[in-house]
Amino acid sequence: MRRGWVFRLAFVLGVLWVPQSFIMARAGGVLPLIVNPVSPASLLRSPLTRATNSCSVTAGTLAFGNYNPMNGSTATTSAIFTVTCTRDTFVRIYFSTGQSGTYFPRYMKAGGTSQLDYNIYGYANHTAVIGDGTNGTYYYDGTAGPGGSYARYYGLVPASQNVPPGNYSDTITVTVTF
């Protein structure tokens, strides 16, 4: 039975729409780390001694930059998250659906009703949607240790979405188990 901690890291994706002859977008920021311990990661060495392990997670801002739905171009970006543990440890990283409740597509909302589709991918060619391993999505796994391990993730807002100006945002929870 694998015992460990689960860390949840939430970050916000945001697009600020500027009503002018062309529409520009800017990204939101990173929310603080939300830690939700499930059980301590430990290894029983003897009846009196236990060696514990801890991990921390940081994530970069996913900044989409300029987006103009009239010119037929997508908006793309990337960011890095890093997992660091006190000992070399197998970790698995999942991304939530955000407010869409589905991975295909995720969306940002503005004003409660307007939505702007986007998604998060594991590759620069936008072929592997990062999720929890269900419904055709992928997740990250590997070993993290004192030197830290990192992975890059990629965001894409599809071209030519007919949406009104507004402040579009979403919150994604990143869960790391070990």
Contact present, 107 and 116 (Cβ < 8 Å): yes
- The reported pLDDT for the residue numbered 69 is 84
The pTM assigned to this predicted structure is: 0.72
Q: Is residue 70 part of a domain?
A: yes
Average pLDDT over residues 142-169: 90
CATH number for 29: 2.60.40.1090
How much is the mean pLDDT over the chain?
74
Distance CA 62, CA 78 (A): 6
- The reported pLDDT for the residue numbered 51 is 61
**Side-chain-facing half-sphere of 109: CA atoms under 13 Å:** 9
Which domain, by its residues, includes 21?
Answer: 6-177
> Dihedral angle at the C-alpha atoms of 105, 111, 113, 117, nearest 10 degrees?
-20
Q: Into how many domains does the chain fold? A: 1
Q: Is residue 86 part of a domain?
A: yes
- pLDDT band of 107, cuts 50, 70, 90: very high
Is 50 exceeded by the pLDDT of residue 15? Answer: no
Q: Is residue 156 part of a domain?
A: yes
Q: Is residue 58 part of a domain?
A: yes
Q: Is residue 1 part of a domain?
A: no
Q: Is residue 84 part of a domain?
A: yes
Q: Is residue 122 part of a domain?
A: yes
* Phi, psi (deg, nearest 5) at residue 155: -110, 145
Average pLDDT over residues 88-99: 93
Our separate counts of H helices and E strands in the chain read 0, 12
Write out the DSSP string of 121-165: ESSTTS-SBBSSSSTT-B-EEEEE-TT-EEEEEEEEEPS-----S
Q: Is residue 69 part of a domain?
A: yes
Express each pLDDT in 33-57 by its tens digit. Answer: 233 333 333 333 344 445 678 888 8
